[in-house]
Structure 1
């Protein structure tokens, strides 16, 4: 069964990411598990979509397939205008470096590097010249212009996550994929990070696809998509945290 959902209501809005009839299976024979079951969905450019669902619903698999971290078993994935369904590992690596940014629950910063060096790292790995001016500008954008030379151990959890976001944005990606970006943060730091993501959407038109289990985080997005058993079962536009929590409780019940 295929579900087709387009996030956003504006006619003519460009689609940053699109999955068409995507299935993702693991294992074989009787041990085969279908994590995604014929999912079709489009994420418009300049939108922020939260993906939610019970444990094992397929939300992280959806993110991984959309970002090219995993290949789907069947179906088609288009990312920033590129069909990545059958792309080689080398092609995917090149595309991700220039098109995609990632933010995870664990900040994944290099402990021996300063904030400035951590942000510059993906630029160096892509073989490009590092502009200190640009690196410092992106750190200033996330409110860490005075923390350039601080190492991760000298920063709070919220500050480390903001460095991770700055690092993801250093290449000016078409799409920012976030997997539980506030999961390791206290409520104050989480609000700061969510506010930063909102400003990115509103000021530079950043496209964000975010997996979260937190109704408050999900309510900060433009739309929330709900998965269950590998299928899209609902979508809410501009919901309150209570609406998100109630819908998630119904799925888990």
Structure 2
């Protein structure tokens, strides 16, 4: 399958001299187009670093990164910024919505920041896609946590990105809201061929993905295809033990 994101022998180090820390140690991974991959591992295993390097938010120390058909390893900052605006969506645990803006305005914000004319119908269509057609003019304080996260997903999707990167997208939600968000992500993959790379600590969330990759000490140590939540939890427990 064609890769939406590919890492080849990626090393990422922070610090210098005796304080140098190797967060990623020779990671090679392919994330196929139209697939959902969960990335898991103990605290400090390199999950978030992997996400940041794959998305072009952080430079690798060694190795190569391909994103949306481009080798971004040594790409200039301006090129990376443009590629992220065009081809990448981000969803985080904390919804990062602007409190003074409506749901519709929050979703349109990435387009405005990129200097793109905001097609209102496109914004409203993506809010309808996440089940919030009747919440266009509501501000974040008027929405539940699950609804706020769906606004954040709509904001990430309005540019129709090649890849959606999600960092603990259900971490701040109750179980019912988390299930709604996971159902939405699953539908995006199955119905529109969206590619999702998601960092999570939750076996239930990971089990909704097509595949789960496990990291430990900056290395890929296991891979499960379409696992159950119990299988994910058991494997994670062995890694943390």
The two structures have a TM-score, normalised by structure 1, of: 0.95
Q: Which of 162, 175, 178 pairs up with 2:163?
A: 175
After TM superposition, list the pairs within 5 Å mapping 1:142-153 onto structure 2.
142-153=130-141
Partner of 2:66: 78
**Count of residues paired in the alignment:** 241
Q: Give a deviation string over 1:8-50, Cα, whole Å, max 9, x none.
A: xxxxx11100000000000011110000000001000000000
Specify every segment of 5 or more residues in structure 1 that has no aligned partner in the other structure, as ranges. 1-12
- Of 89, 95, 109, 2:83 maps to 95
Cross-structure match for 2:97: 109
Query: Quick one: which of 231, 236, 244 aligns to 2:219?
Result: 231
State the distance in 2 between where 1:86 and 1:184 align: 35
- With normalisation by structure 2, the TM-score equals 0.99
Aligned 1:1-253 pairs, distance under 5 A: 13-253=1-241
**SS of equivalent to 1:234:** strand
Q: For 2:112 and 2:18, how far apart are their aligned partners in 1?
A: 45
Where does structure 1 differ by over 3 angstroms across 4 or more consecutive aligned residues?
none
Q: Distance in 2 between matches of 1:96 and 1:76?
A: 17
Encode CA deviations 1:47-102: one digit per residue, 9 max, x unaligned: 00000000000010000000000000000000001111011211111110000000
Give the CA RMSD over aligned residues: 0.4
Deviation at 1:125, TM superposition (A): 1.0
Runs (5+) with no aligned partner, structure 2: none
- CA deviations on 1:186-218 (whole Å, 9 max, x unpaired) are 000000000000000001000000000000000
Equivalent residue of 1:146, what SS? helix
CA–CA distance in 1 between the matches of 2:20 and 2:186? 39
